Amino acid sequence: MLWAIVSVTCIGVLLGLWLRVASVLAACLLLAVVGTALLPLLPEWSLLKMAAFIFALISVLQCGYLAGAIIAFGKKRARSAVNIDLPPVGRQARNELPGIR
C-alpha cells in the first residue's frame, strides 16, 4: 500500500501548487468515497484497519497539499516586485562602517 500513500502525496502536492482549498476538500471526499468502496475488496483487512488507512490517506493528502501550497507561496514571494530593493538581513558589526564593504 506504499504506492497509494506516495501517489496520494503527489496528488496533494500538485493540488497545492495549482489549486486552492476547495480542490483538496473535493479530493478528500472523493478519496473517502472511493476508499470506502474499494477497500472492502481486501478480505484480510478488518473494518478498523480500513478506516485507519482511509484516515491516513486523507491525512497524507492534506499534508501534501500544505507542502505544495508552501512551495507555491515561496515561489510567488521570491519573484514579487516588493522584494527587489530589500536591504540585507542581519545587523552590522560595531566596527563595521555602513557603506564600506
Q: Judge whether 90 lies within some domain.
A: no
Q: Which domain holds residue 54?
A: 2-77
- Using alpha carbons only, what angle is made at residue 66 by residues 53 and 88, rounded to the nearest 5 degrees? 150
Q: Judge whether 86 lies within some domain.
A: no
- Using alpha carbons only, what angle is made at residue 75 by residues 73 and 77, rounded to the nearest 5 degrees? 65
pLDDT tens, position by position, for the chain (101 residues)? 788 899 999 999 999 888 888 888 999 999 999 988 988 888 888 889 989 999 999 999 999 999 999 988 877 666 655 556 655 555 555 555 565 55
Q: Judge whether 99 lies within some domain.
A: no
Overall domain count for the chain:
1
Q: Judge whether 87 lies within some domain.
A: no
Instruction: Please write the tens of the pLDDT for every residue from 17-46.
Output: 888 888 889 999 999 999 889 888 888 888
